[in-house]
Amino acid sequence: MIETCTTSPVANDEFASWIDTFLEEKGIDPQHVFTVAGPSNLENIIPVGVVIEHAKIASPGEQATIKDTLVQIDFRDGDVLHYLEFLATGIAH
């Protein structure tokens, strides 16, 4: 069964503001692209900006997980782009 969405996804303004500020402070270019394989092994080119737009319309629970993960990565001086690429792979699938 295919579910259809009757309303447009709405961004959580608090999360949207937070993630925009976070990426700006980290100097992450929204035009940076990831090349990730989709389910048929075709390459998908997904910019950081697209990953962020998907995050902004994710459920509040998913947004909390994304925020918590980014904060943990940042605290450990990890590679935020690696996590964003992981999210891009999810979008491709």
Residue range 49-67: mean pLDDT, rounded? 97
pTM confidence score:
0.84
| The token pair that represents 76 in the structure block | 């450990």
Q: Determine contact, residues 51/63, Cβ cutoff 8 Å.
A: no
pLDDT tens track for 33-53: 999 998 888 899 999 999 999
What's the rounded mean pLDDT across residues 51-64? 97
d(CA 72, CA 50): 22
β-partners of residue 43 are 37
Domain residue limits, the chain = 34-92
